Amino acid sequence: MNSFKLGYISGVILLAALAAAGTGALVLTAVGASPLATYVTIFTGPFKDMFGFTEILVRAVPLILVALGIAISFRSGIINIGAEGQMLMGILAATATALYLPAGLPHLVLLPLVLIAGAAGGGLWASIAGLLRARLGVNEILSTVMLNYIAAQFYTFLLRGPMIDPGELETGSGTPQSMRLPHSAWLGRLVPGTRLHMGLVLALVLAAAVYFLLWRTTWGFRLRAAGAEAKAARYAGISVERSLVTAMALSGAFAGLAGAVEVTGVHHRAIENISSGYGFAGIVVALFGALHPAGIVPAAVFFGLLLVGADMTQRSAGVPANMILVLQGVIILAIVSAKMYLNNAYAQERVRRFFARRPALEPTQPGGKS
């Protein structure tokens, strides 16, 4: 029985890997690239030097932060699809704080203020959806997606207008980006010569904090109860409405913080396309990591690997960028399906029966003919 289970698990994983690799190979062959070379590049390329390796973590940082927020909201029974918009609002708030506060504030004062501003920006933006849901029953999926559009346009408007770098106007190039943040608002580098920044430490600390919050405090207990069964939570004296608003605001704050970390740690100014879809990928990371910090961190690193590997493939193996997106999609689908099969007892039973080859009618176990 146990040997069957082991065989089942390894079989499913093997099949999933083969399915993903096979589908990917078809797509790659169709565009005239070598599947093998592409795979090798994706999975080993980033590990060839320190820069590649640290880049994985650079990508993982915003993913971890966004996914932690998503985990809080999903666990609390409110679905936040608006991390992308909340991230942009966080970036705006962080950038504005760094640029427009009186110059000369010391690093240890300015940087925390900037990060808090980012979290507040994302949190406030998300609370709109939270309040609409709690007060008026507006579906939060609808409202967060709509708020994403508004945030995206607002972001572009500010970067092309009021917040644009005056230098861009002088030279006439007009690139939509803000001024560079003062050095005192930058997150320190962890490894010199790479882009890896202190945000990683912050993300890991917050991952532990989220675990602690959700599973070790009365606050988290109530949030989870409200999310798991609102009726029972209400019965037990928990204000479900308040819990929804809190969870949404907190979730948005994490997305906003992800934005603030990205701008203070990597780009040092607000630019277009800065979120690179982290707000959406973060949802996948959160679900992939089973809405638990201990799952989210490795899931985010894995996604970071895929992102960096894809970049490298584009450069070295000459595979078009869009094909890499297809490949990512295929890999993720295969893994998610495999997980479903691993957890599904019925599927396991069916496979067992199939291999058991219907062992005739006679009893196989001593039933005891007493």
Partner 1 sequence: MKTAVEPIRELKLAGITKRFPGILACNNIALEVRRGEVLALVGENGAGKSTLMNILAGLYQPDSGTISLNGQPVRFHDPNDAYARGIGMVHQNFMLVPNMTVTENVALGLKRLHRFMRLDLKDARRMILEVSARHELPVNPDAYVWQLSVGEQQRVELIKTLCFGAQLLILDEPTSALTPQETDDLIDRLKRMSAELSIIFISHKLNEVKALSSRVAILRHGAVVFNGVTADHSPADLAALMTGREVVLPRNEGLDLGGAAILSARGLQVRGDRGHLALDGLELTLHAGEILGLAGVSGNGQRELAEALTGLRPVESGTVTLLDRDLTNRSPAVMIAAGLGYIPEDRHHEGIVPSFSVKENLVLKDIGTRKFSFGCLLRLREIARNAEHLKARYDIRCSSTAAAGGSLSGGNIQKVILARELAREPKALVAVYPTRGVDMGAQEFIHAQLLARRRAGGGVLLISEELEEIMNLSDRIAVIYKGRILKVVPSLEATRERLGLLMAGVADE
Q: How far is CA 329 from the centre of its chain?
A: 15
Least gap, CB of 349 to partner 1 (angstroms): 9
Q: Which is nearer to partner 1, 106 or 237 (CB)?
A: 237
Least gap, CB of 88 to partner 1 (angstroms): 32
Half-sphere exposure of 173 (CA within 13 A, CB side): 8
**Cβ-based neighbours of 147, under 8 Å, separated by 6 or more:** 82, 85, 125, 128, 129
Least gap, CB of 214 to partner 1 (angstroms): 11
CA distances, 323 to each of 20, 317, 318, 327 (Å): 14, 12, 10, 6
Q: Which is nearer to partner 1, 26 or 232 (CB)?
A: 232
Q: Which is nearer to partner 1, 75 or 133 (CB)?
A: 75
Interaction site with partner 1 (CB under 8 A): 215-219, 221-222, 224-225, 228-229, 231-239, 353, 358, 361, 363-370
Least gap, CB of 212 to partner 1 (angstroms): 9
Least gap, CB of 234 to partner 1 (angstroms): 6
Least gap, CB of 118 to partner 1 (angstroms): 25
Least gap, CB of 225 to partner 1 (angstroms): 5
269 in Cβ contact with 123 (< 8 Å): no
Pair of tokens at residue 102:
């009186």
Residue 105 CB neighbour total at 10 angstroms: 16
Q: Which is nearer to partner 1, 105 or 238 (CB)?
A: 238
Give me the DSSP letters along 144-161.
HHHHHHHHHHHHHHHHHT
Least gap, CB of 363 to partner 1 (angstroms): 3
Residue 321 CB neighbour total at 10 angstroms: 11
The residue type of 123 is: G
Q: Which is nearer to partner 1, 162 or 363 (CB)?
A: 363
Crossing angle, helix 278-288 and helix 240-262, to 10 degrees? 120
CA distances, 334 to each of 7, 297, 328, 329 (Å): 18, 20, 10, 9
Q: Which is nearer to partner 1, 157 or 215 (CB)?
A: 215
Least gap, CB of 283 to partner 1 (angstroms): 21
Q: What angle do CA 81, 87, 92 make, to 5 degrees?
A: 145
Distance CA 70, CA 253 (A): 10
Q: Which is nearer to partner 1, 221 or 280 (CB)?
A: 221
Pair of tokens at residue 264:
């203070």
Q: Which is nearer to partner 1, 18 or 228 (CB)?
A: 228
**Cβ-based neighbours of 159, under 8 Å, separated by 6 or more:** 176, 177, 178, 270, 271, 272
Q: Which is nearer to partner 1, 183 or 369 (CB)?
A: 369
Q: Which is nearer to partner 1, 217 or 322 (CB)?
A: 217
Buried b (16+ CB within 10 A) or exposed e, 129-140: bbbbbbeeeeeb
Least gap, CB of 229 to partner 1 (angstroms): 4
